[in-house]
Amino acid sequence: MKRITRGLVASLTAALMATFLVGCGKPADESSQQAVTEVKPLIVYSSRAEHLIQPVFDLYTEQTGQQIQFITDKAGVLIERLKQEGESTPADVFITVDAGNLGYAAAEGLLLPLQSPVLAGNVPAHLRDAKNHWVGLSLRARTIVYSTERVSPEELSTYEALGDEAWEGLLCLRTSKKVYNQSLVAMLIAEHGEEKTQQIVEAWVNNLAVAPLSNDTKVMEAILAGQCEVGVVNSYYFGRMKVKAPELPLALFWPNQNLGESSTAGVHVNISGAGVLRHSKQATAAQEFVEWMASDDAQAIFGGVNQEYPVNPAIAVDPEVKSWGDFKASELPLSRAYELQPAAVKLMDRAGYH
């Protein structure tokens, strides 16, 4: 027989008294009982469109029972909202596009550093913040697009070569005001330094067929209309257009593929990504959700729905995206995109790229 100690007797006596007191009190109503067991929804602020993130949230709820509520808006608007809300914010997770936006959120003190072996194992280091404030969730290439009717891929080689005399009056670019181009130039600075990058951008400006356009779709439309022959776009914009018109006489070219073994050689890539908010009331649950978004199931959705690339190298690329061809991506740390954006913006202005 197990020995009953004085301490155990005291514990049993206390438990019986507690039971007696609860029994004598008023019965708890149904709403208070539910409040004890109810799991609070995670609140996500996202600059990604609803149709791109809803399938991911729905699958997480299906697999875990955790409800997700979200608000969508432009990245800058959401960041300012979080700054105003401060400690009183209801939000737990921030999702947005471009390492520049994620870096800004981190610099403003909005994101909690994550120590996660799961994320370290699933996402390459150059697609994560050096201080672990954010992590990439999906990958897009900012690459060259060209007319298959008027340009041979053998004529193309590098981003830098788009400034060569051969492309004078034949190049279209999106406005420098968009973060995608600011990050591209920032990463060129990381690779070449400011002086050489300014020469590259000035050469691009000299080769422009028309003034910089408002978005990537308009760049491709200008090529189709014969206003220019080549441009620079995010790969998923090409994918969206290609789905609507499979016979579209445009193709992607992967630049900077034959520059030796340097880690800076390769296609410029960027990400959509996420971080746990510093003032989240459910930081543990929020981190678990971010970790899950780097898992097999979520990565497959990110790639298929928006025609992007998984950040997890173990996940197969969507067949349509795979059909565009393989490429070597630059492995420069994307955290440099935010660090060098102020210099990139000033450089583009000096070069006359507006």
pLDDT in tens, 282-307: 999 999 999 999 998 899 888 788 89
- The per-residue pLDDT for 28 is 44
- Residues near 158 by Cβ (< 8 Å), separated by ≥ 6? 255, 256, 259
Compute the average pLDDT of residues 318-347: 96
* Poorest-pLDDT segment among 9-13, 194-198, 218-222: 9-13
- The per-residue pLDDT for 26 is 42
Predicted confidence band at 263 (pLDDT cuts at 50, 70, 90)? low
pLDDT higher at 330 or 12: 330
161-177: pLDDT as tens digits: 999 999 999 999 999 99
- The per-residue pLDDT for 256 is 96
- The per-residue pLDDT for 261 is 54
Per DSSP, 86 falls in state G
Q: What percent of the chain has pLDDT over 70?
A: 88
Q: Is the pLDDT score of 210 beyond 90?
A: yes
Q: Is the pLDDT score of 12 beyond 50?
A: no
Q: Is the pLDDT score of 31 beyond 80?
A: no
63-96: pLDDT as tens digits: 999 999 999 999 999 999 999 999 999 999 999 9
Compute the average pLDDT of residues 204-210: 98
- The per-residue pLDDT for 135 is 98
pLDDT higher at 222 or 262: 222
- Contact present, 276 and 93 (Cβ < 8 Å): yes
Number of residues in the chain:
354
Distance between CA atoms of residues 209 and 143, nearest Å: 18
- The per-residue pLDDT for 258 is 85
Predicted confidence band at 143 (pLDDT cuts at 50, 70, 90)? very high
Distance between CA atoms of residues 275 and 323, nearest Å: 31
- The per-residue pLDDT for 22 is 37
- The per-residue pLDDT for 264 is 63
Q: Is the pLDDT score of 100 beyond 70?
A: yes
User: Within a 13 Å sphere around the CA of 43, how many CA atoms are in the beta-carbon half?
Assistant: 14
Compute the average pLDDT of residues 326-350: 97
- Residues near 61 by Cβ (< 8 Å), separated by ≥ 6? 67, 68
Q: How many CB atoms lie within 10 A of CB 37?
A: 6
Q: Please list the residues that pair with 278 across neighbouring strands.
A: none
- Contact present, 99 and 337 (Cβ < 8 Å): yes
Compute the average pLDDT of residues 308-325: 93
Compute the average pLDDT of residues 46-63: 95
Q: Domains in the chain and their CATH numbers?
A: 39-139+269-317 (3.40.190.10), 141-267+339-350 (3.40.190.10)
Compute the average pLDDT of residues 190-204: 97
Predicted confidence band at 32 (pLDDT cuts at 50, 70, 90)? very low
Distance between CA atoms of residues 6 and 78, nearest Å: 59
- The per-residue pLDDT for 259 is 66
3-state helix, strand, coil split of the chain in percent (to 5) is 50, 15, 35
Q: Is the pLDDT score of 1 beyond 80?
A: no
Predicted confidence band at 262 (pLDDT cuts at 50, 70, 90)? low
Element containing residue 60 per DSSP (H, E): helix 50-64
Q: Both tokens of residue 93?
A: 């997770």
Q: Is the pLDDT score of 54 beyond 80?
A: yes
Helix (H, G, I), strand (E, B) or coil at 70: strand
For residue 21, is it left (φ>0), alpha (ψ between -120 and 50) or beta?
alpha
Compute the average pLDDT of residues 115-119: 96
Compute the average pLDDT of residues 223-248: 97
Distance between CA atoms of residues 213 and 220, nearest Å: 10
Helix (H, G, I), strand (E, B) or coil at 15: helix
Q: Please list the residues that pair with 99 across neighbouring strands.
A: none
Compute the average pLDDT of residues 220-227: 98
